[in-house]
Amino acid sequence: MTPATAIKHVQEKAAAAPSKRGADLLHDPLLNKGTAFTREERLELGILGLLPPAVSKPEEQKERVLRNIRKRPDDLDRYVDLLSLLDRNETLFYKVVTDHIEELLPIIYTPTVGKGCQLYAHLFRRSRGLFITRHEKGMIRDVLKNWPRRDVRVVVVTDGERILGLGDLGASGMGIPVGKLSLYTACGGVPPWQTLPITLDVGTNNQALLDDPLYLGVREKRVTGKAYDELLEEFVLAVQEVFPKALLQFEDFANHNAFRLLQEYRDRLCCFNDDIQGTASVTLAGLYSAGRITGRRLSEERILFHGAGEAAIGIADLVVSAMMADGTSKKEAMSRCWFMDSKALVESTRKDLQDHKLPYAHKHKPIGDLLSAVKELKPTALIGVSGKAAQFTEEIVKAMASFNDRPIVFALSNPTANSECTAEQAYRWSAGRAIFASGSPFPAVDFEGRRFIPGQGNNAYIFPGVGMGAIASGATRVTDEMFFEAARALASRVSSQELEKGCLYPPLTQLREVSAHIAAAAAQVAYQRGYATEPKTKNLLARIRSLQYRPEYPNYA
């Protein structure tokens, strides 16, 4: 070995050396390799004797994990097992999840994560992320500095008021930021040490939680009004100061806060709301894919939304932006989006509409039920974002099929129990003509000699890629244009064979590669619009692939 080679070897060895030794090393999930530590590493790192003597290959470890998970009686037990693995060995967790994303995505996120949040206090093993309450007002910056890592690039924050379709879960909503960030890593390739889940525990109005002796949040009613806004403002400013390169993702805030917080901060920092913009983007991608089946352009669709909350309005806003980018006037684009809320058709004579619904309150006579609205408006696409199960009845689906050769029916409410209809119902009631997508997964459907593979409009297709694009470009803002370009990129990855089977999205097994293309599309917008701070490379896609985290053990010896 030459002197130069020896020096390089010492430098590489020092760079790979873990910051901890002995039992502390085994208790750090980012550094721990479990039984994969070689004998040489065990001698050097002071862990000899602290592990069984056999040295396992990563594939052997993965097989052990999968066998144990598959033996579990239900998905909730599998969810708990996977979280325990995440707490012990993050590299192995991400290797298992990345290699088996189609099988494990419904377990680490929707629909199982909803049950995990409901039982959060009862399943609690080890804390992940940061909890911030009103009692930390004036010292939020100091709380953020308690986080052990400084190079945070993605923060997902919730206040727990609207967890999936389950409502106010208070501090128990922490399962959502943890789950989202695991997808940032598994799907988008964001390194796990650059992610931070946060719950703003501002209380809960869920009396069952307040009465639960095991509940782990503050036992008080929700903070509202000026006190809430001041806490949010301090939090956002503190994130900008402590983690200046971080993207901030708002997650599962209730409608009355979600829209106004997005409007307040979207032009002040790099942030977005996944329930509004991520859901919109994956739905728009589904519409683009459906257009390849029907032969219609997006600007020719007439869309009726069942539900008029943040998801529905977010979809409509992005659809309007995408139509306008293709040359449609804003007035014409908006006129193609109609809404039914919990009371009636959103139309101009109503005096009880919230501000976010007013732009879509078109002139029309009052209509009180969804079936009548479908028959009257004759939409080409019916999109369910109501959070309520079984809203798309047989009569409604048949009505859609009566004036559409290929009716678009999206039942997007989560979890599965809240879906507006099942895939089988949509295909059977439309005589196999429906173009269907759902928010939660449904199995394949066999109908009259044909097998349909229903597409899942899962936000996991979108937000990890958009986040990685923001990181790669050093974006100072996240814009609607990034989301409709992400939708185009996603739809472009769907093959004609998949469309033939009725699937509007690429296989989940392609998520990492899909996320790389979405990241490149989002980063390209950042460079074009002057929001990028990182130097641009000739091949954005190659750069993003090079940045993607790979769950591989380092060699410590």
β-sheet with 130-133: strand ranges across: 130-133, 195-201, 154-158, 247-250, 271-273
Rounded CA separation 187/181 (Å):
10
Question: Among 79, 94, 109, 553, which one carries the catalytic annotation?
Answer: 109
CA distances from 364 to 261, 316, 385 (A): 31, 18, 22
DSSP single-letter state for residue 345: B
Cα first-last separation, the chain: 17
Asked if 209 and 165 count as a contact pair (C-beta separation under 8 A), the reply is no
Residue in the block written with tokens 């093993």 = 125
> Does 553 participate in catalysis according to the annotation?
no
Asked if 55 and 557 count as a contact pair (C-beta separation under 8 A), the reply is no
Instruction: Give backbone dihedrals phi and psi of 206, rounded to 5 degrees, phi first.
Output: -85, 100
Rounded CA separation 68/75 (Å):
12
Q: What is the dihedral of CA 140, 142, 148, 152, to 10 degrees?
A: 50
DSSP single-letter state for residue 196: E
Q: C-alpha angle 65/71/73, rounded to 5°?
A: 130
DSSP labels, 255-309? HHHHHHHHHHHTTTSSEEEIIIIIHHHHHHHHHHHHHHHH---GGG--EEEE--S
Instruction: Give backbone dihedrals phi and psi of 109, rounded to 5 degrees, phi first.
Output: -135, -145
Q: C-alpha angle 64/68/74, rounded to 5°?
A: 155
> Does 57 participate in catalysis according to the annotation?
no
Query: How many C-beta atoms lie closer than 10 Å to residue 238's C-beta?
Result: 19
Instruction: Give backbone dihedrals phi and psi of 200, rounded to 5 degrees, phi first.
Output: -90, 100
Instruction: Give backbone dihedrals phi and psi of 346, rounded to 5 degrees, phi first.
Output: -75, 105
Question: Among 115, 180, 245, 357, which one carries the catalytic annotation?
Answer: 180
> Quick one: how far is CA 136 from the chain centroid?
28
- Work out whether strand 154-158 and strand 381-384 pair parallel, antiparallel, or are unpaired: unpaired
Q: Which residues are catalytic?
A: 109, 180
